[in-house]
Amino acid sequence: MLGPHPGVNPRPGDREESMLYLIEQCLNGIQLGMLLFLLAAGLTLIFGIMDLVNLAHGSLYMLGAYFAATFAGLTDSFLWGIALGLLATLIAGIVMEVIAFRPLYGRDHLDHVLGTFGLLIFFNELVRLIWGPAGLTISLPPQMLTAVQVLPGVYYPLYRLIIILTTLAVALLLYILVMRTRIGMLIRAGASNREMVGALGVNIKLLYTLVFGLGAALAGFAGMIQAPISFVQIGMGENILILAFVVIIIGGIGSIRGAFVAAILVGLIDTIGRVFLPDLVRHFVSYSAGSSAGPALSSMMIYMLMAAVLIFRPEGLFPANR
């Protein structure tokens, strides 16, 4: 039943068309990268400035999605859901920092891992108690259920385009905040030498709380914009947190710029690998074996990139303290 080259390059010979197809897939990769950036930005700041390994960062992603879904349900508006959800995640992040993280600063990384892993389990159970085991859904407004022509011949889902543009705006704001404001200067100073910043009379406690709240809001925002595409469910932040850690390792811990570049890199590699590797593998093994081995192989690619970065540039592509 299968054709001579089933599934392999859909329109062989049509250069222009395969170019447009590649552009569309790159947009898909960038969109995933943008999502990862939102998570990784907060993670890298917290890791870089407070020297804190936060395994519960994914819980904030989950909380953001639950808050947004709840508020969207109450107000019957997607945008209000996002706005109120953001505020709620910010508050949750600050409360979490004051209660649970302050005792952890300055302690061993193993203590961080144990403490924040406990928090992760705590939040999963808390969400189960409050919202039940089944999870929630956020529906997009019907106007978002269309695709727009971004280039002649390239159609892209409107909602995903909005995700890319919004996240770019957030990245720009973050850049301005970190590079052009006084708070940003303190944040950067904190990333390179914490003790010195404290010694110069800066209220380091307040700075930490601020950074943590910012990171929480970014993670929560990632959770809510992804929610209409995936599920709002317990443990939703755990898989994506692994990717976010990969991003900050590749990008260099503490570096926003590194997180941005690495997130897009990881998003692109993941998507392009998912799309083209199965076809490539099918050239060497049987069609159905290629269909199932391809996805498995493509999901390993980003880890290979991480391993390569660790071997050749252990401090990441954009080390923060240089």
| Nearest approach, Cβ of residue 154 and other proteins (Å) | 9
Count of residues touching other proteins (by CB under 8 A)? 50
Q: Is residue 181 within the footprint of other proteins (CB under 8 A)?
A: no
Minimum distance, C-beta of residue 234 to other proteins, in the bound complex (Å): 7
**Cα–Cα dist 233/237, whole Å:** 9
Report the residue number, 44 or 124, with the smaller CB distance to other proteins. Answer: 124
What is the smallest separation between the CB atom of 25 and other proteins, expressed in angstroms? 6
HSE, side-chain direction, 13 A CA sphere, residue 320: 31
Contact indicator for 316, 250 with CB cutoff of 8 Å? yes
Q: Tell which one of 57, 112, 160, 194 touches other proteins (CB under 8 A).
A: 160
* Nearest alpha-carbon partner for 120 in 243, 234, 249: 234
**3 lies in the binding site for other proteins (CB under 8 A):** yes
Cβ atoms of 87 and 148 within 8 Å: the answer is no
**Contacts (Cβ under 8 Å, ≥6 apart) of 82:** 68, 72, 221, 224, 225
Using the minimum distance from each CB to other proteins, give the nearer residue, 159 or 221: 159
Q: Considering the rule CB under 8 A, would residue 166 count as an interface residue with other proteins?
A: no
144 binds other proteins (CB under 8 A): yes
Place of tokens 């970190």: 178
Polymer length of the chain: 322
> Pick from 74, 79, 145, 196: which binds other proteins (CB under 8 A)?
145
Distance of closest approach, residue 206 Cβ to other proteins, in angstroms: 38
Binding-site member from 37, 47, 159, 221 for other proteins (CB under 8 A): 159
DSSP letters, 133-165, are: TT-B--PPPGGGSSEEEEETTEEEEHHHHHHHH
- The residue whose two tokens read 């240089």 is 322
Shortest reach from residue 296's CB to other proteins, in Å? 8
Among 150, 158, 164, 317, binds other proteins (CB under 8 A): 158
193 binds other proteins (CB under 8 A): no
241 counts as binding other proteins under rule CB under 8 A: no
Site residues for other proteins, window 251-280 (CB under 8 A)?
271, 274-275, 278
Strands 147-151 and 154-157: antiparallel
The residue from 59, 70, 209, 233 that contacts other proteins (CB under 8 A) is 233
295 binds other proteins (CB under 8 A): yes
The answer to whether residue 140 forms part of the interface with other proteins (CB under 8 A) is yes
Nearest to 24 by CA among 272, 265, 261, 222: 272
Question: Among the candidate windows 9-17, 102-110, 204-212, 301-309, which touches other proteins by CB under 8 A?
Answer: 9-17
Binding of other proteins at residue 131 (CB under 8 A)?
A: no
- Chain-centre distance for alpha carbon 114: 22
Give Cβ neighbours of residue 253 (< 8 Å, ≥ 6 apart).
Answer: 44, 47, 48, 315, 316, 319, 320
Q: Where are the alpha helices (DSSP H) in 97-235?
A: 109-131, 158-180, 182-192, 194-199, 204-226
Quick check: 286 binds other proteins (CB under 8 A)?
A: no
- Helix 204-226 / helix 236-251 crossing angle, nearest 10 deg: 120
In the bound state with other proteins, the residue whose beta carbon lies nearer, of 208 and 221, is 221
Contact positions toward other proteins, by CB under 8 A?
1-3, 6-7, 10-11, 17-18, 21, 24-25, 28-29, 31-32, 133-135, 137, 139-140, 144-147, 155, 157-160, 228-231, 233-234, 239, 271, 274-275, 278, 287-288, 291-292, 294-296, 299
